[in-house]
Every structure is written in C-alpha cells, then in structure tokens.
Structure 1
Amino acid sequence: MASGEWDGDFDPMADSDERKHLLSVLDSFRSYRKLAHYNGTHVRRQAFYSLPFEHWQLLSKPPFSILDSLSKLDDLIDANAELAEAIFCVGFQSFIAPTLDSEWVATIVPQKYAHDEFQVYSTVMDHLNVESTPTDVEKAKSCVHQFYREWSIEGAVERQKCFNPVVESLDDEFSARQKASPNAAKSELKVLVPGAGLGRLVFDLCRAGFSVEGNEISYHELIASSLVLNYTKRAGQYNIAPFALNCSNHIARTDQLRTYQVPDIHPGQELANSTGEMSMSAGDFCVLYSQEDSKETFDAVATVFFIDTAPNIIRYIDAVRHCLKPGGIWINLGPLLWHHASRTQPSGQDSKEEPGSTHDHADKGIADPGSVELTDEEVIALVEHLGFEIQKHETGKIETGYISNPNSMLQSTYRPSFWIARKK
C-alpha cells in the first residue's frame, strides 16, 4: 500500500496565491475551537441573557437547563477541535514545516511551548500573519462533520447506500474479466476515484483488493484524509459531535449532544493484508487526467456524489474517457446538485474573443469560465454521445441522506442516479 504520498505536479508553496490559499485552509482548522466557541455558545449566551430576566431564569432551571446545555456544548466543541487541530498539524507538517528555518522558529516559540506541537505550529502561523477566509472556515467545519459520514460506525448507513453499488459493480467487472483470464488478480484492476473526499471509498475499494488512486482538489479534504489514512493510531481515536452546532429541529437535547467515535476502524491495520495498492493525487481532475501520461491508464473510474461539481460536465467526460483503457467502465452514483449554477466570466476578465474561439489558452480545468446544468437524461445522452455505451442506468431505487442526523425533525433525502458506462 502506498497512501502516504500525494502524486502529481503539485507544489502549492511555489505560487504566492496558492500558498496564501493553503495557509488560509490551515488556519481554518487551527481557528475551529475559537470560532466555534464564539459562534456556537458565546453568541447564544448573549442572546439568552437578553431575554427578560424572569424568562431566562425559568429556562436556566430544570427541565430546560439551557445554560447547562451550553456548557455541554462547549465541551463538545473542544472534542471536535481536537480533530480539527490534528488535521491542522498534519497539514503544517506536510506543507509548511519543510520550508521553515528551524533557528528562526526557535527564536519565536516560547520555551513553555517547545514540546507542544500544536502551539509551535500555531505560533509560526501567528508570525506569518495568516487569516482564514469565511469560506474556508465553513469548509473546515463541514470537513469535521463529514467524518461522521465516512469514518463512523453510524455513517455506514449512508456509505452502504452509496459505496456498495460501486464495489459490487467492480466485483462483477472483475469476475467477467477473470473468465477470460483465470489467473487475473483483483489488484491488477486499476480504479480511479475522482473527488475522493476523506478517502473512505478509496480505502474500501483497496480493502476489497483493487488498486485504487484517489484524486482530490480540496486542501481541506486532502489533509483530513491524510490524517485518517496515515496518522491515526487506533480506531475511535477521536470523539466528534457533528450535530452539536446546529440547534434546530432536535426532538431531544440528547440528540444534539450525541457523540460518535472516528475512525470506526484503523486503516493501517485493515490494509496490512490487502493485495491492492492505494494512492492519492492532489489537483484538478480535468487537468491531471487529461495529460498524456494519464492516457488509457485505468480499468475503471468510480464517481460518487461528484459529477455535479463540474461547471462544464463535458470536461469531466472527456477526462474520464481519456484516462480509461478501451473497454474500461465508468461507474457513477449521485444527484445533480449543480455547484456552479449560472457561473459567468470572472469579474475583470472580460474576454474579447467570440464564444466559439479556438484561441489557445492554458488549461484551467474547473476554473475555466462558463457553466451549464443538465438533467439526468441529458447527462446520459451526453455520455453516450462522447464515446460511451450505457450498460446500466437506474433512478429512484436508492434513497440516501448526506451527513444526515437520523433523529432530526428535518430530513433531506437524495434519490441519486446510478449508471455504468463502458468506453467504446
């Protein structure tokens, strides 16, 4: 297994804008504790004490005990923050630490923090004058919550709905190939998982015996997946409360304050006897897998809750077709919650070229201007038009949430499309 390295032409510290973005991402995890306490409990205490005196006095006593609940919420924020700060430390070690002068670091870190990894890294961040953007702060919070879906026992309900069809389809593909080549091994079937997120599908496919490469563009997800796959020491190392910061639609206070252990298994131990290999690449899927060295590399591509992240889905289809071997399969499961609705040319970058111009530009991948939103029928027609044969297509048979609280009064349910396409 090779999961500790991220492949690809990827040096975020070489570009000033990319470096600024990476530091913002790291700071969003570092700041989780402070901002969650402020927005999660401090603001709510202020609002609570702004009630008429007799009202907050009543609600501070049993059976309501709102102030006690806020104190419990503070404890849960600290538990979530342990995970967020562990992600921060892994990211700092991977990207920032190798660029630092150790003598300079020694001059700025107080002696009392010398043996506290988080405080050392945090002190350096303070001296780099880093401040995370609101968008990155929200992504860090969402990333911590996503551990519930991908790495808790309870999250298996959603994982089984979304991942099992992929694993079963790959097993069927291997069985068909094995009939033609009886000595074939599962590990010879190479699978690409774009939009790998926190790495659970990549891990599950590797554990099933396939050789898998995950791809992810988000620093938040990349660093968090590296923590869980490469640095966790045991199952249940962290306790998280994914629903604690949302104070709406709870039937009972215990539903809001419930905690879950992550990861549910120890990835290293689970893969010790796996015959498959696992790796991660970092960067834009369209750019990386449209390059010549990716041509006809994979036997299968598996996309789960991914294709609707495409501003222009033709770019995704082209990249999948390019990196698949002839006769390879594309397995897709997910909704069409288009992430880039009505995106226009970036401000200040008005083009004087005609819409149909073929002028040569650097490939910006998903950063290219323009967007389009298609129906499921239109997506299928486009996939067929661009060189694939649809071998299976189902809608409405799978129902699943996404990081859903099963005890909430509000339930959002996806009925994703599931299809298998073979490259002609």
Structure 2
Amino acid sequence: MLPHEFVFDRTFTEDPYAAYAELRAKGPVHPIDFPRGTTAFLVVDHEHGRAALSDPRLSKDSAHSSVPVDGDMFFGGTMLGMDPPDHTRLRGLVAKAFTGRRVEALRPRVEEITAALLDKLAAAGEADLIEAFAVPLPIQVICELLGVPASDRDRFREWTAVLTVPARTAEARERRRDAALAFHHYLTGVFAERRARPQDDLISGLIDARDGAAALTEAALTETELLNTIALLLVAGHETTVNLIGNGVLALLQAPDQLELLRKRPELLPAAIEELLRYDGPVERASQRIALEDMEIAGTPIPKGAWIHVSLGAAGRDPGAFDGPDDLDVTRTPNRHVAFGHGLHFCLGAPLARLEGQIAIGGLLDRFPDLALAVPATDLRHHPTGSIVRGLVSLPVRV
C-alpha cells in the first residue's frame, strides 16, 4: 500500500508524471493509506480512470464513506459533492450560462481584457505572468459574468487557496470552515444588494430562480445551495484557468519547436489548448468518488465505502491512450484527454476555459515574439499536490 505522503511530498509535486509512470507499469489501480484511517484507491491509467469518472456505482456524496468525515459546508453542498437528482437539478439551473453560444458571445470582452493586460505587461518588460496576467484575466471574466466586483479578487484567491486543499489536520479543517464562512458572509451581502437592485448577471438570475415562480417548484434552489453554487463558480471559474495559462505557457517555453510551430500556424491554437490540457493540465486529480457497493476496478477489489481518486494527470500521460505521451505535440488529434473530467460531472465551465485559454495564450504569443523565462526553470515551484489543482506559484517572464 502506498503511504499518503506519496502524493504530498515536494518531489512528487514538482514532477508527478515520472512517479505515475512507475505506478502504471505495476498496474492501473493502487491502494493508498490516506490520513485519518481512510483507505483510498488511486487510478492512474486512461481506460479505467475514464470509466470510473462515469461509473454509477461511484458516488460523489461523502455520506457514503465507510470512514466518518467532517461535513464539508462548501464542496459538500455544491454540485461537486452531489449525485442525481440533486446534481441534475443544480447543474440544470446554472448550465444555461455556459452554453457554447453564450460563452462565444463573451469573446469580445475577453479579448478586450486580455489586450489591456498585455499592454501592462509590455510596459513592465518583466513580470510574474501568474499575478500580472493569468490571475486577473479569468477573475475579471467570471466576476463580470456572475456580477461581483473583480476588485475583491485578493479575497477570492485567499479563500480559494484554503478551499481547494484537503484539510488533513484539525487546524486545517478549522481554516477551511473559516474560509467557507467568510465566503458565505461576503456572498450574503452581495445577494442582499441584488435582491434590492437586480442586474443582468448570473447571480441575479439564480436569485430569481430561488425567489421567483421557480421557487414554488421542486427545481428551486435552497438559500444554502445558492450560496455554495456561486462560491463554487467563483473558485472553479478562475483557479483552473489560471493554471491552464501558467502551465501551458511554461510547457510551450520548454518546447521551443512547438512554440515556433504555433506562432507560424495560429490556426493550431484550439488543438494546442487541448494538448496543453492533456500534457500538464490544471487539475491533478478529480475530486473523490465513493464506492456504493463492493466492486472491482481493473481486477482490484474495492470495498463499499472506499474512496477512489482518479488522476487526470496520469491519464493524460498514459502510453496506452496516447502516442508519445511525454512529448508536447500541438498538432495532436484526436485528443481524448480527461482534463475536464468525464460523465455527469464533466466540467461545466469547459467552453469558457477553452475560450480564455485560446485568447490568452494566443494573444501572449502574438504580442511577445521574444517571450522567455526570467529565471531558470529549476527555480519554479508548484503549489503542493495536496490540492486537487496543479499550478505554478509564480512564472517570472521577460516580454
């Protein structure tokens, strides 16, 4: 059995793919001794990982865990921690805002925000690409879509940093509860303002669904669900795109032949974004599933109540699914990566993330032909892999 430190130590954080390759050579599923007496199973190949993500025998509701867990007032009360029919009800209310047509209508505004940020980068000459570009772009977009001030982005980042990292100690669990409470308190004030003065934004629309005629139907949101849903959209709506941009730019800078090819053939940009998602995506592993019955995955017995973690990063580097998986290839098609998940919980914001990634990375490469790292690549650090997300702490560049 793998010790839980396997997925939390610094060596693994900086390069998990070599470790995943070693595991995959031994088999697709591995038990992990997680903290607090929880035995979990890590799936590291594409075939079984993809299947697990849509397996109806695996629940997202931690109430089915064989080991008692603290109630999670944030993720446990969102779509991420629900099964149908509650998941279906909540997702249906929010999905209209993220259709391909509605997201495409945001293109001019995303391009406008990107151009303004690139102007600031040009004036600076050298900057941390994460804080100067990758963070403000998606935060401003999701804040405008929802209807909250982008000027509060520092608070969103602080809450996100706590809420996306598993709480393995009593102190960490207390910090997580405090962050969730602070987020809820903030949003309660926003909701009060929107109820008094509705606007053309997603929060106003969901409040109408909560308070209006829809509130009389079974499709209504509870007040807590409304709070948690908006909090989730704010967190997921910016954090993953920050990492898509940061990880993607670093990958291209470390593969100069692919970078040059993309500059010469900008029509490859959509395929390049898919490849960057596969190669070093923004989410290291999917949020947990819990076995509803005794079952097997790839011949490995999984007891009822056990936790299953699917490594999206490992699935993207599986040689059984991709030729040359450790090579970045911006022409790769088809590209059946699972960076956005699979099945009922496929990422709702995937169309928006793709749009932002294409505009951000395309604009950056077009504007700055001499873009380069300002520090040795060995100096760069990733956020601890205790988080389900994978992203750089900083990315100093010269433009």
TM-score normalized by structure 1? 0.26
The structure that has the greater radius of gyration is 1
Higher RCO (C-alpha 8 Å, min separation 6): 2
Compare the two structures and name the one with the higher helix fraction.
2
TM-score normalized by structure 2? 0.27
